[in-house]
Copies of this chain bind each other. A is one copy, B any other.
């Protein structure tokens, strides 16, 4: 391996934003400033789209006050993009890199971003223009391979757990069935986080449905009915990617199925459609009067002032580590290894190959889902608890002995 070039660097933020992707950006900025090999650090405005259009901001010389504000701000501070670069797109990227003497490429994102880093790195090699390319993990879905978990997940999990704590208390005071639809088309980690705030034996969510366990409507209804009959109420956390017994997502079925008409028709493209559909099913089939449904939407990934301290710290460390690695080696993706749980929780960072992360996703392991497929296990709570960090304690008095 050749010595590190004395050259410019570029950093980009790709895909859906999170509440700590800016902490990773700041990690890159502050570590880059320590290495004289990195001359100028460009921020690619709107990710790869900014590179090919040469829309750059200078990330040098920012005050520590500004950097701390950036690190604590949700969403992507230099803009993101959902472009998936093909070879021609990457050729243009390398052309800009050559023109600007860019030899370091840091890309914060999910598995697509790891793939982009891999393609850029490989194509640059072929073009005899060395570019060191590093992927920094980010996703609220927590679905990247190799790493124990992903920066961005812990804070989103904290939001979802908090939301369900409040919603469960709301449901206690005005009993009925409450459905919360949570992000996660393929992986159930974020929906599963709904369990993290449970404090009392009868706290909700009482049922948790993840995409990893398809569920026929009749089983779903029977399970809701059983909880409702037992507790007089039922709080349900559902992944947006929940699927029917045949594996087809309910979202897709709502679009295709004639059944929908029986419940008043559903706007095909609407964000509230799945929640509204499930509420209508419960109302009409179980004859339960008070049924409410919320779809959490973007609040899950962008709510300010709610960072998990562990998540923000790890996101920043991952950004720093990518720069350190780039001083020593040609490419890689930063990953985390868990060192312990509970009070002994901690991680160490390590490098993995870009191809190990690129274009692949991880699902919830079986040990995190209960046998019935309608809740999470204690093993999941041990896994995700430290990532979300401490949650508020609550008190409910309505269960006290009657006088």
Q: Which residues of A contact B (CB under 8 A)?
A: 13, 16-17, 19, 42-43, 45-46, 54-59, 62, 66, 69-70, 72-80, 82, 162-163, 165-167, 169-170, 172-174, 178, 197, 263-273, 275-277, 279-280, 283, 292-299, 301-305, 391-398, 400-403
Contacts and interface: CB of A to CB of B under 8 A. Distances in A.
A69 B165 CA distance: 14
Contact of A273 (B13, B276, B283, B304): B276
A174 B19 CA distance: 14
A280 B271 CA distance: 11
Given A270-B293, A403-B56, A299 B167 contact: yes
A397 B70 contact: yes
Given A264-B269, A266-B270, 20 more contacts: A17-B169, A17-B174, A57-B397, A57-B400, A57-B401, A69-B393, A74-B166, A74-B170, A75-B169, A75-B170, A78-B397, A80-B173, A82-B174, A162-B304, A197-B304, A265-B265, A269-B283, A270-B273, A294-B295, A295-B295
A316 B358 CA distance: 54
Contact of A73 (B169, B178, B276): B169
Contacts of A403: 42, 56-58
A271 B296 contact: no
Contacts of A303: 162-163, 166
Highest count of chain B CB atoms <10 Å: which of A45, A62, A304: A304
A292 B298 contact: yes
Number of chain copies forming the complex: 2
Contact of A276 (B76, B270, B391): B270
The 5 closest A-B pairs by CB, nearest first: A272-B272, A270-B276, A265-B265, A294-B297, A75-B169
Contacts of A402: 45, 54-57
Contacts of A70: 395, 397
A97 to B, nearest CB: 15
Nearest to A54: B402
Contacts of A268: 264
Given A77-B396, A170-B75, A277 B272 contact: no
A267 B263 contact: yes
Contacts of A54: 402
Contacts of A165: 304
Nearest to A47: B173
B269 A270 contact: no
Contact of A397 (B43, B283, B392): B43
